[in-house]
Amino acid sequence: MKAFVVSVLTISLYLITALVTGLHNFYWLMDMVNGASLNALNLTALIGSVTLVVAAVLKAYGTRVAVKIGVVGSLLLWVYYGPLIFVGLSMPSTAQSQIREFISDQNYVPLFGILLGPILLIAWTVTLTLSFRLHREVRQTV
């Protein structure tokens, strides 16, 4: 029963992370409709989000390759969110003004992406690291 609950929580974390980061990056890629150039970082992160959805579906069926696909998705997401976290921490006044601007414009998709995306990605990466350690310990005891 405990393994089932952990599995459901892990799959939920996969899907929520993929949904929040995917919507955030898809939102910024929609600027291309208005003539903006293609942002490779957003496209890479969107592919990472889709990869996390695939990993969640495979994890639901209990395949071991799901974790490896999840690692690839995580790395693709870190390409975008790593610099976003770094800039947000190194220039907090800029991040605060951008957040205020999104709130005043009632532009909530990028707001949730900026605030929840990195938090969920960090939580997902910690979960992934713990599952690797658990898998290694189980392998060593067998």
* Mean pLDDT, contiguous 10-residue spans, the chain (142 residues): 77 90 86 82 91 91 83 92 88 84 84 86 86 69 62
pLDDT on residue 28: 83
Alpha carbon distances (Å) from 60 to 54, 79, 100, 115, 132: 10, 26, 39, 28, 17
pLDDT on residue 138: 63
pLDDT on residue 27: 84
pLDDT on residue 36: 80
pLDDT on residue 10: 83
Secondary structure of 76-120 as H, E, C letters: HHHHHHHHHHHHHHHCHHHHHHHHHHHHHCCCHHHHHHHHHHHHH
- Provide DSSP, 8-56: HHHHHHHHHHHHHHHHHHHHHHGGGGGTPPP-HHHHHHHHHHHHHHHHH
pLDDT on residue 50: 94
pLDDT on residue 135: 67
pLDDT on residue 51: 95
pLDDT on residue 30: 84
Three-class SS state of 63: coil
